[in-house]
Every structure is written in C-alpha cells, then in structure tokens.
Amino acid sequence: MDIYLKKTENIGLMEGKMGVALFYYEYARYTGNTVYNEQADNLLDEIFDQIGKIQINDIEQGLSGIGWGILSYCSRLRRNS
C-alpha cells in the first residue's frame, strides 16, 4: 500500500489518502500498534499540504470527503476518551 500512496496524488476519501488515513487510525486502535497512527498522521500532513489544490467538492474525491473523514476521526476520538 505504501508504494501506491507514494505514487498517488489523490487525497480524497474513497480512492485516496484520506480513506487510507482513516483505515490506519482504525487499524492502530484495533492492533494497539502506534506505527499505524504515525502513518495516518503523516498522510494527514500530506493532505493538508495539498488541500488548496483541490477543485472538486464531492464526497468521493473532494473537500466534502476530506471534511467528513476529519469529522469522523474527531468524533471517534471524543467517544474513546
């Protein structure tokens, strides 16, 4: 998966880095392995670096999906604390 992520410019929810970041956060919680949290954090940094270039607003590839992903992650953090 890491090779795909290095090649892709897609930062969206369904086929891009946002979806993978959410997966890594969930997998870190499931396994207890913080390495996956670090990978997800790195992906979010990449997403924030590229977010100004997005011209799509849909849920699959655009800003709506990235926003939904961030809200989803934050709500899980709140529930688990």
Average pLDDT over residues 51-73: 94
The pTM assigned to this predicted structure is 0.89
With contact defined as beta carbons under 8 Å apart, do 66 and 49 qualify? no
Query: What's the pLDDT tens digit per position in 15-43?
Result: 999 999 999 999 999 999 999 999 999 99
CA 73 to chain centre: 9
- The residue with tokens 């926003």 is 67
